[in-house]
Chain A
């Protein structure tokens, strides 16, 4: 909340209220959001998330038996996350296959999701999450994480909370939410945050560039505000996908309408 106050006082002194960003957004505005769950028929759970033109698609398989015994954990399930950029996702063709960058992102995403998924329920099992970036225009890991968390919920996997994720940064004196496109090149920093809104815990925090110590807290708070907006969208998207089945189950229990037969 302090973020907002600081920003407004500064803004009021310096410039008019309708200061815009490169793509015409307000400083604390997220790009147009599109989320849909259950888009893949063959995967147990799936979701697509678009933040502006950044598109991430996630599919979940499992929980199933992990066949290589040495990888098994007798106390909990193993979460395998694969982050992949498809060759046509950027200006220059991406070489297919794992790279240094994608391996690292896969790891941080796995750690961000592990905090939320209740892995203890499936000892010796594996849950596989495959995330593909169809189009990249900054903040891909954030879109990937939102999609993965929705796909896990869609697959009916027990979780403590959904994971929402958003980036924030700073340009000149302005804190900005959801760093995108060309902005990535001119920002002082780019700071992705993953957040569990119910537990109020941060599960991923990275930073590119430098940021004065006094600003760090404000930027994180702004990112968390973005996460909460995205969390509501995630819930809506999941509800939209399952609402038909909710009706069906209510019918079965016979409280909302009578079933013949």
Chain B
């Protein structure tokens, strides 16, 4: 805690026109100094750094970035996202990920060996859902990969779209919010960074309601408490969620592997 405070004091610079966590609109000047570097959603013009999007300022180690409050998902390397297979090509799959960019999953991005002449629709068919990792994003488009322990195909379940900027709110700090929802309802929930949420379980209607509530009320204080109360009120008395297999650390990130093993057996 004391360390954090010291860092905060160090970051205070008299040149800063906007402090950490200040609200900015496009074109707002954050600082007029060449000692800082523009990060995400910022740009430099002459000596000054300006915000590109509506959001709040984040200053870290002389890098100025803006956390957006609205807008579509901007892909970033390493993000885990949920997509739907749109089309099958000879070299891979085109995937709809709810952005204006088209995503592509190439054959080299798939786990395991694919013999030449294999029918690709046997692996992933049109309308299948996948939870995949972004490996590169260029002007041409986004490349996805399944070569990650968390990546897998999603079977059954329900899909829900929320605003991509609310995703951190739904996950909570160190996955606190999402793990609470999962442990209380016994549902399996996977959150893609692109704002697509996959829900699988008995109480999926309740989980949908809860997630919509979070999407609507993300900015009002005491969200975690309200969500907990809402769940307690709406769950039938004495409801005991079914034990999920090897629910280890209970963040949405850690369970992909267990689940995929389970489904491959089907």
Residues in A lying within 8 Å of B, measured CB to CB: 44-45, 62-66, 77, 116, 118, 122-126, 153-162, 196-199, 234-235, 238-239, 242-257, 259-261
Q: Is the CB of B56 within 8 A of A153?
A: no
Q: What is the CB-to-nearest-CB distance from A146 to chain B, in angstroms, rounded to a whole number?
A: 13
Q: When A and B form their complex, which 10 residue pairs have the shortest distance between CB atoms, in order from nearest?
A: A156-B71, A156-B70, A125-B100, A248-B219, A161-B27, A159-B26, A261-B224, A245-B219, A244-B219, A261-B176
- A-chain residues with CB within 8 Å of residue B26 when the two chains form the complex: 116, 153, 158-162
Contacting pair B27 A246 (CB below 8 A): no
CA distance A242 to B177 in the complex (A): 23
- The stretch from B145-153, B164-172, B191-199, B245-253 touching chain A is B164-172
Interface size on B, residues (CB 8 A): 45
Some 8 contacts from A to B, beta carbons below 8 A apart, are: A62-B100, A63-B100, A64-B100, A158-B53, A160-B26, A160-B27, A253-B21, A255-B20
Judged by a CB distance under 8 angstroms, whether B124 is at the interface is no
Interface string of B5-35 (1 = CB under 8 A from A): 0001000000000001101011111000000
B residues whose Cβ falls under 8 Å from a Cβ of A: 8, 20-21, 23, 25-29, 41, 43, 45, 50, 52-56, 67-72, 100-102, 139, 165, 168-169, 172-173, 176-177, 180, 218-225, 228
Q: Is the CB of B177 within 8 A of A154?
A: no
With A158-B53, A261-B224: A242-B69 Cβ-Cβ less than 8 Å: yes
Q: Given A66, A198, A199, A246, which contacts B23 in the complex, CB threshold below 8 Å?
A: A246
Are A155 and B71 CB-contacts (below 8 A) given A242-B23, A250-B21, A250-B56? yes
Q: Contact check, A245 vs B41: say whether CB atoms are below 8 A apart.
A: no
